[in-house]
Amino acid sequence: MADGSINAECKTCGGKEFRFDREEPDQQVVCNSCEAEVGSLRDVQHALRTEGERVMNDAIADLKKKLRKSGWK
């Protein structure tokens, strides 16, 4: 399984490490700390693009880089 990681903040525990399968857009993104499912990769990416932009610009830039690197369109 092609696990990846993104930088954002878990709404449950405040954790900043998540894991997901970058090859499956509908895969649940899971917090590495508390195992909470934060949504599908697609949903998380959308959320990061919109509401997250004010507070997580750095994280978004980093996420976009990682997603682009992994071939995300």
Interaction site with Zn ion (CB under 5 A)? 10, 12-13, 15, 31, 33-34, 36
CB of 44 to Zn ion, least distance (A): 13
| Degrees, nearest 5: CA angle 51-52-54 | 95
Rounded to the nearest 10°, the torsion over CA 53, 25, 19, 39 is: 60
C-beta of 61: minimal distance to Zn ion in Å? 22
Which C-beta is closer to Zn ion: that of 13 or that of 68? 13
CB nearer to Zn ion: pick between 34 and 61: 34
Rounded to whole angstroms, the Cα distance separating 27 from 20 reads 7
